[in-house]
Amino acid sequence: MATLTGAEELGHGWTLIEQGVDRLVFEQAAGASGLEVRRVVAFGASENSVRFETWVRSSGGRRVVARIGLLEAQVVGHGFHETGAAPASFPLLGDELFCGIEHVSGEASAGGEGADQVSLVQRPRSEVGEEWTLVAAAVVGWPQAGVGTGLRGAARMREAFLHYLDSVRLKPDRIVLHTDTWWSVPRPLSEARVLNDIEALRRGFFDRTGMFFDTYCVDLGWSHPRSLWRMETDRFPNELRPINERLATLGTRLGLWMSPGSGYPEGLENAWLQAQGYEMLPFGAGLGQVPCFALGTRYQREFKERAVGYARQYGLGHLILDFMPYRCDVATHGHPVGLESRYAIDAGLAEVLEGVRAINPAIALEPMVCGYPPSPWWLLKTPFVLGPAGDDLPYGRGPCPDWLESLITARDIVYRTSQESWLMPTQALETFDITVLSPGEFKNMAVMAIGRGRWFLSTYFKTDLMKPEDWDFLAALVRWARQNKEYLRNAWQFGGRPELREAYGYMFRHPARDLYCVRNPWIEPRTINLPGATNPSEARDVRTIYPRRAAAGRIEPGAPGLSLVLGPYETVFLETVPAAEEPPEVATPPAVAAGVLAGPPRRLADPVSPTTLESRGVRLAWSGTLFLPDGIDSELCILVEGARGVERSACQVMLSGREARVTKVTSDGQFGAATEPSPENWTWFTVPLARSDNTFQIEVAVLQEQAQIGIYLRGALRATNDPPPDDAAPFPTFQAERRSWSQTLQPLEQFR
């Protein structure tokens, strides 16, 4: 049934007007409304789907279609559940079928959790004339043979839907390596500063490796705030021409940042917009009035003209869209208000994306404004959407002396908590994965970007923090990922919870070759069980390819996956290959343990500080004798966790009667970019140990009434590294000759 704005209804009679081996076409005659409806039923882009296209035309002048039913059905014996909230369009997943509206807006309902009713409705508010106009298509699909092998229930249906979506969505030709001026180039932006950044990246990355970024985005700061997205010519006197020309010499396309909802006064002042008579809506959050982005509003039209104009002028290879309200209740704007206003706003955004893609169909679009979570059908308009990133850069979680490791943990805590709500392939998601803005080893961070399944590698580099070998690693990693792109699809979560400091991982399921990426977010060793092979009928050998190349074991037909022990903060990438004639020889690392003769730690009664205000606190002492293994590098690590202010803790260490030099690293003041602070606060004290260091005395002082304190050893063992393959780009290794180990001397314990 289709309904006009005046609530007139169509008749219910349907006539079969075309019948072929590949499609059926039905038409519904015009009733009093003067509207005709055509349904085209055909197999979809993949073998596991049927599509129902709905077309409309008016036989008596132009009319606006307010509502139309796309599919109403009862599937006896099959329950369905909804995967998201309207008016964003989300599919229904059933026991053996999935169905949905191939449009970013729509209403897919099941009549209750597990019900066998399916209702797909669209509210297009589209004006139609005598020409047939496509309203939307509904799709019904089922698991395809060979897809989701070994999965059951909801996981199998999710995989079936993702497989279908991947067959119709926009996809890049290759994995995109992208970088951005946000964070890495000081503001205010200027032509000189951007060119200097490009030059530093060229010297460090391109000149050394021959590789450069596919796209380079000029972020917030290029526009004059009292113009509608025009250039700030004082700081960019030549607009973006010199920047674009310089990038072109490196084989890189220019990217540009814009804000459809004008959420950044530095980029566009909303008071100026309002004074110019643009359609505005109240938003709050310190922004006051912001522009309405509904289709056809003056602001939306001119924004599109500007974006398309820049795409044409500079040959843009990338466009990021940042901030947009999803609802407008101002009736004078000429669109429905309330929840239904989402249709008009989504249509406005879709028109911009389509307009830019008409200039460059291969443009790497990065719209961060599609919803949270977004309708999966946005992937018909853009190759990438914002995933569950949590924030720009969540502050570190999981105490580690290397802040970059804690940033990885923080990102994965947020991502793994919400990723199931993003019903789209992981290779279409973007979560600001590689952010080298603090000192530390970035290699595990880069590997985790691949491990999460990213085909859009969003990077932010302070070039002075990158060593020459870091650029080598990045280039090698991107080459490997591009060569193995066909296997890097739909990364499935498994393992524990990083917020509990448990090992966790991601698996890329493929009948020919499974890939695993696993990580330990904690200083103590952790064990993780790999899922079994996707193809359970064949034996598969498992090989570690990062941080070193080595045999890991064999999975026999139908058997569970391997069990791995991960060292402190260790990230490991593995692959499966057809089993060789003989089982692989797996090197067993030697057991390592330091001997310790010591009593329990003592809580000292003396006040932490002689001042009255700081007389309360925890003062802990521990002493004894330590017997270190021969030939092994080791480090003493003392952790203090507590409330804010724990960074004021102090530690003194005596080794064999001499005072040791203690390195202090705290979570306080470390770089992050998030609304909420980390719920964890810590301070690490580390001391390198020599074989001659036997006796030890440790004293820790914390200016808090209670704190958790733990004492550990960590170091590295010698390891072997197999030669790289001759016929393929190798996965880069990291400290391949060293295997990390740790030992808990005093487990993390609360002291008061």
- pLDDT at 149 > cutoff 90: no
The distance from CA 39 to its chain's CA centroid, rounded to whole angstroms, is 38
Q: Write down the pLDDT at residue 151.
A: 84
Residue range 621-641: mean pLDDT, rounded: 92
175-212 residue pLDDT tens: 999 999 999 999 999 999 999 999 999 999 999 999 99
Q: Is the separation of the CB atoms in 519 and 415 below 8 Å? A: no
CA 151/CA 276 separation, integer angstroms? 57
| pLDDT at residue 5 greater than cutoff 80 | no
- pLDDT (0 to 100) of residue 613: 38
The greatest distance separating any two alpha carbons of the chain, rounded to the nearest whole angstrom, comes to 99
Q: Please, which residues have CB within 8 angstroms of residue 608's CB and are 6 or more apart in sequence? A: 614, 615, 616, 617, 618, 619, 701, 702, 703
User: At 450, is the secondary structure helix, strand, or coil?
Assistant: helix
Cα–Cα distance, 276 to 227 (Å, whole number)? 10
User: 697 - beta bridge partners?
Assistant: 623, 654
Q: How far, CA to CA in Å, does 237 sit from each of 184, 192, 224, 227?
A: 22, 10, 12, 16
Q: What is the pLDDT of residues 687-703, one digit of tens each?
A: 999 888 789 999 999 99
The model's pLDDT over 560-587, given as tens digits with 9 standing for 90+, comes to 999 999 999 999 999 999 999 999 999 8
Q: What is the mean pLDDT of residues 374-381?
A: 98
What does the pLDDT look like over 216-229, one tens digit per residue?
Answer: 999 999 999 999 99
Which two structure tokens, joined as six digits, stand for 148? Answer: 């989701």
Pairing relationship of beta strands 80-82 and 63-74 according to DSSP bridges: unpaired
pLDDT above 70: percentage of residues in the chain: 97
Beta bridge partners of 50: 43, 140
Quick one: average pLDDT of 500-507? 98
- For 595-751, the fitting CATH number among 3.40.50, 2.30.29, 3.40.720, 2.60.40 is 2.60.40
Phi and psi, residue 282, nearest 5°: -75, 135
Evaluate if residue 631 carries a pLDDT over 80. no
**Among the ranges 124-128, 150-154, 225-229, which has the highest mean pLDDT value?**
225-229
Q: Any idea which residue has 């498992």 for tokens?
A: 542
3-state SS assignment for residue 9: strand
Average of per-residue pLDDT across 304-321: 99
Percent of the chain with pLDDT over 90: 85
Can you say whether residue 504 is alpha, beta or left, with left for phi > 0 and alpha for psi between -120 and 50 degrees? beta
Average pLDDT over the chain reads 94
- What residues does CATH 2.60.40 cover in the chain? 595-751
Q: Cα(9)–Cα(28) distance, rounded to whole angstroms?
A: 12
Full DSSP string of 51-101: EEEEEEEESSS-EEEEEEEEEEEE-TT--EEE-S-TTB---EEESS-EEEE
| pLDDT (average), residues 339-352 | 97
What local confidence, expressed as pLDDT, does residue 610 receive? 45
- The confidence score (pLDDT) of residue 630 equals 82
Average pLDDT for 665-686: 97
Three-class SS state of 111? coil
pTM: 0.95
How far CA 646 is from CA of 611, 625, 640, in Å, comes to 18, 28, 7
**In a 3-state reduction of DSSP, which class is residue 312?**
helix
In the predicted structure, residue 11 carries a pLDDT above the cut 70: no
State the pLDDT at residue 1: 40
Question: pLDDT tens digit string along 469-496?
Answer: 999 999 999 999 999 999 999 999 999 9
Q: Going along 63-213, which residue ranges are E strands? A: 63-74, 80-82, 92-94, 98-101, 107-109, 117-122, 126-128, 133-141, 176-180
On whether the CB atoms of residues 217 and 243 are closer than 8 A, the answer is no
- pLDDT for 6: 38
pLDDT at 606: 61
**Cα distances (angstroms) measured from residue 254 to each of 243, 379, 422, 441, 456:** 8, 22, 29, 29, 15
Structure token pair of residue 339: 């929840």
Over 80: is that where the pLDDT of 31 sits? no
**pLDDT value at position 9?**
39
CA angle 249, 254, 255 (to 5 degrees): 160
Contact indicator for 580, 541 with CB cutoff of 8 Å: yes
Model confidence over 604-630: pLDDT tens digits?
A: 876 554 443 344 689 999 999 999 888
pLDDT tens per residue, range 362-371: 999 999 999 9
Strand order, beta sheet including 80-82? 14-19, 23-28, 35-43, 49-58, 133-141, 98-101, 92-94, 80-82
- pLDDT at residue 247 tops 50: yes
For residue 12, what pLDDT band results from cuts at 50, 70 and 90? low
